[in-house]
A and B are shown apart, each in its own frame.
Chain A
Amino acid sequence: MIKVWMLLLIMGSVLLGSGSYIQVKAIAAQWMLERAWENTLERHSLNASSPQKPWPWADTWPVAKLKLGTSNEMIVLDGVSGNALAFGPGRMHGAGQVEDGLVVMAGHRDTHFSSLKALVLGDEISIQNEEGAWTAYRVSDISIVDTNTHMIDMSVGDLEQAQLMLVTCYPFDAIQVGGPMRYVVTAEVI
């Protein structure tokens, strides 16, 4: 009897622990990334543009800094693999540069991009590139899409205005992972 009780207690603790570990990792990583980002900016001013890894064994590196409305700033990483997104929002490969074309960034709905739900049309979003320059965008569209029927057209090269697309899972308070819906915030450069 006492065994079952203990087992459940341990299981509960492990699960709670791993659940909060994800959250803690997400927050702690951003501190480390902040330092790597400052190095990147500094390197850039010296014209040496090698990617600055936040820790030696990292397989991703900071590529931009993102500021959503009035909420906190966060560091955006290269790629949208699970490894990268655990530490911060990621910038999708194959999309354009900050100044022109389409930039797609994705983040976890329950960590970094939970603040997307607070954005409304007309809110300002800014991105700092590796050279330190800030580009401001204004939210022009917010939609919920079904990934079974929609894909992102990364080939749009002749946009009238540069665009930013922020993607996270939807619904925000869902518990199950891997659902088909996404919350997509589109912003146009000001």
Chain B
Amino acid sequence: MDNIHKSNNKKICWWQSRRDDVLMALAIFLLLTGYSFSAQAIESKALSMSMNQVESGRLLFKSTQTKSAQANNNPIKYYPATLLSEDVDIVVSGLIVTARLKQQFKNDTNDWLEAIYAFPLPENSALYLMEMKIGERVITGEIKEKNQAKRIYQQAKKAGKKASLVEQHRPNLFTNNIANIPPGETVEIILEYNQVIDYQQGAFELRFPLTTTPRYFPGQKISGQEIAIDTSTGWALPTDQVPDAHLISPLTIPSASMAKSSHKVRLSAEINAGFPVVAINSISHAIVVQSEERRNQNTYKVSLKEGEAAMDRDFVLAWEAQTGASPKAALFTETWKGEQYSLLMVMPPQQLSGDMTLPREQVFVIDTSGSMGGESIRQARTALDKALNSLKPSDRFNVIEFNSTTHSLYSSSVPANSRNINHALNYVRSLNADGGTEMASALHAALSGNVYPGYLRQVVFITDGSVGNESALFKQIEQELGESRLFTIGIGSAPNSYFMKKAAEMGRGSFTYISDLNEVERKLEGLFKKLSAPVLSDLSLSAGLDSENEPFESYPSLAGDLYLGEPVIQVIKHKAQEGEQNKQTENLKLTANSIGLHHSNTPLWEQAINIAGAKQAKGIATFWGRQKIESLMDAQNLGTTNTEQVRQQVLDVALKHHLVSPYTSLVAVEKIISRPVESILRKDAVPQLLPKGSSSRMAHFPQTATSSRLYVLLGLICYMISIGMLYQHRSTASFKELCDD
């Protein structure tokens, strides 16, 4: 009897000792189930609502489909009046890229249409050819002064003739107007441009833009003016700082919402590098590469794996020279209209003497405006994270964030010790994208103030550059730069690389483009190498005879700094030699009088170039014209020259070289009249696709609930359990006495 009692007692004691654990597990279990149960209930309730009650309001992007389609979670569709498709054929020959693009505009309505399409091109492209193809007929566009071209187009449009007008609004943004597209028919516009390939640190990169990130337009809206502003082409109204905002703000439609038959591109590229090429790849698209041997030279043909792609991101193609085969210097020449033009590329040696690195003061500026929303802000945060982790303890740093307002993490730069860096890392991780892009105040915060003594200030600016007031910002950089250097990092599927390249040029730094989260590390490594290596400056190109009267005219200006891994590119027009037949310009000499901190009156580095060894190439004269226009426009943007004088000079060059410029446009008119007088002409602004991964004018709904109810509910559950336990504790107290004996 006693034994039985004892064994019972043991069991009870075991229960007693485990009870705490069991109750604890029970309490946690209750908490978790309570939460997930309530969450589930709400979710199912919300879903059933979406099936029956969901409706789109007038301002919401309205579906033209039935409600049942919405219930299937189909994205809402946008049905454009003009269906757009594009064929792009790119040929890379040596250093020159020539691209031929065919834009097809199909009128999908029963009315006559005028289509207006704002489209991007690479920021250094020289656009020299436009053809309008109607059926089998081809009408070649002519270059005219901008206003004259517009008048020709307007008259043709009024008369009912098919016509096309291509205008430049920014070096990387153009519009194409196509008048009198008959109902159901297609008009094709063929454009051709060339540019010099981007070559840095042994890698080549070709970027073909297919859409733009909507820009931000600072300033006061211009309204109530007497001049009628046609805002049918853009969502933005002109402002005092960006008077052409309505022309460069096409509506952007998310790719998923666009009708499947529109905004598709077919793309092919051919690479004839002139040396063995490896690692041809595209970070933006799936591609197929075929190699062919022609005259002992390999030619590579690249096409899209899927055949066609949505026009919602830039096409990026990269390749490298085989180890040891990367070009160190190249010279191409062309004779055009009896004049001689040359293109020179020199890659300075990658190891330079005079490596005396100063400690650096790095100021990181991150754009957290609305256009950076989505994928872009994640890329930017990752990039900044990497950059902060790469600082040396001897460096100083600061982080500046800007959208509508600017906020500096520290009032002035601080030592890069682990405490400060951790603080900055936490700050960066908390950044979100919202608001405007008031870039001027951020630039001012980064560039103003004195450089910390004994330090080299490098401003690293991370942005998508989606601003409309580019030239005002260039001017500001020029004025405020002082001893600082500005490095820009372009982020997103379709950043404004014109702005960022030029800003870096004005800021005597360099531009790095990151299009994908996976690229952040590799691209930044290249940038950090540049940031820490000595630079070449005080560069000059001469024939070595008479420094006042060089027998050539070359662009771009060599005033900036040359960073490690960057080549010198010069496009040269040789002046005709009068009388004397001696070959004065047989040899050119490229020199640098400064390396890092060493300055000298005699060249510290030089390279001689023998012109006789140049290879023949096409398109150099065109590219020279384009570079001359750019350098004239730069001077005008900075306000250092007379506007009317520059206009005349640009006109002369552009008309001679058949180039689209700020003052010239291409216009083509068909002779026959297509549209009957009584038919009305409808205007249709062709939208662009929203860059992949970004969020913009089509704003997302904000998050509008707090966790207060959840907290209160969980708190109450905790209370209930603890009260329950207290009660149980009391009622089981008698068991304890049994254990005690």
Q: A17-B715, A163-B58 are in contact. List 12 more A-B contacts (CB 8 A).
A: A15-B711, A16-B719, A21-B708, A141-B58, A145-B55, A145-B57, A147-B700, A149-B76, A157-B237, A178-B703, A179-B42, A182-B701
Cβ B708 vs Cβ A167 within 8 A: no
Docked CA distance A94–B722 (Å): 50
20 contacts between A and B (CB under 8 A): A5-B729, A9-B719, A15-B714, A22-B711, A78-B404, A79-B434, A79-B435, A81-B432, A92-B699, A106-B701, A146-B50, A147-B701, A149-B73, A150-B61, A152-B698, A153-B60, A157-B231, A157-B235, A157-B237, A178-B703
Interface hits, A57-114 → B, CB 8 Å: 59, 78-82, 85-86, 90, 92-94, 102, 104, 106-111, 113
Q: Which residue of B lies closest to A153 (CB)?
A: B61
Hey, which chain A residues are within 8 Å of B404, CB to CB? 78, 93
Docked CA distance A168–B705 (Å): 8
Cβ B702 vs Cβ A85 within 8 A: yes
Hey, which chain A residues are within 8 Å of B237, CB to CB? 157
Cβ B55 vs Cβ A144 within 8 A: yes
Cβ B46 vs Cβ A179 within 8 A: yes
Cβ A1 vs Cβ B19 within 8 A: yes
Hey, which chain A residues are within 8 Å of B76, CB to CB? 149-150
Whole-angstrom distance between the Cβ of B143 and the nearest chain A Cβ: 34
Whole-angstrom distance between the Cβ of B314 and the nearest chain A Cβ: 23
Hey, which chain A residues are within 8 Å of B60, CB to CB? 143, 145, 150-153, 184
> Is B726 close to A, CB under 8 A?
yes
Hey, which chain A residues are within 8 Å of B716, CB to CB? 12, 16
> Is A133 close to B, CB under 8 A?
no
Cβ B70 vs Cβ A86 within 8 A: no
Interface hits, A141-179 → B, CB 8 Å: 141, 143-158, 163, 165, 167-171, 174-179
Docked CA distance A165–B27 (Å): 44
Among B370, B434, B706, B719, the one with the most A-chain Cβ atoms within 10 Å of its Cβ is B706
What bracket does the count of chain A residues touching chain B fall in?
35 or more
Among B46, B700, B721, the one with the most A-chain Cβ atoms within 10 Å of its Cβ is B46
- A residues with a Cβ closer than 8 A to B are 1-6, 8-9, 11-23, 59, 78-82, 85-86, 90, 92-94, 102, 104, 106-111, 113, 141, 143-158, 163, 165, 167-171, 174-182, 184, 186
Q: A4-B725, A111-B708, A179-B42 are in contact. Are A12 and B718 (CB under 8 A)?
A: yes
A151 interface neighbour in B53, B61, B70, B370, Cβ under 8 Å? B61
Cβ B59 vs Cβ A110 within 8 A: no
B706 interface neighbour in A104, A110, A143, Cβ under 8 Å? A110
Hey, which chain B residues are within 8 Å of A151, CB to CB? 60-61, 254, 698-701
> Is B739 close to A, CB under 8 A?
no
Docked CA distance A8–B699 (Å): 43
Ordered nearest first, which 3 A-B pairs have the shortest CB separation? A12-B718, A19-B711, A15-B715
Docked CA distance A128–B70 (Å): 37
Docked CA distance A102–B699 (Å): 13
Q: Which residue of B lies closest to A179 (CB)?
A: B46
> Is B525 close to A, CB under 8 A?
no
Hey, which chain A residues are within 8 Å of B707, CB to CB? 18-19, 22, 177
Docked CA distance A5–B435 (Å): 48
Docked CA distance A111–B60 (Å): 25
B43-61 vs A, CB cutoff 8 Å, 1 = contact: the mask equals 1011001100111111111
> Is B222 close to A, CB under 8 A?
no
Hey, which chain B residues are within 8 Å of A158, CB to CB? 231
Whole-angstrom distance between the Cβ of A141 and the nearest chain B Cβ: 5
Q: Which residue of A lies closest to B371 (CB)?
A: A94
Hey, which chain B residues are within 8 Å of A180, CB to CB? 46, 50
Hey, which chain B residues are within 8 Å of A154, CB to CB? 697-699
Hey, which chain A residues are within 8 Å of B278, CB to CB? none
A4 interface neighbour in B27, B43, B251, B436, Cβ under 8 Å? B27
> Is B411 close to A, CB under 8 A?
no
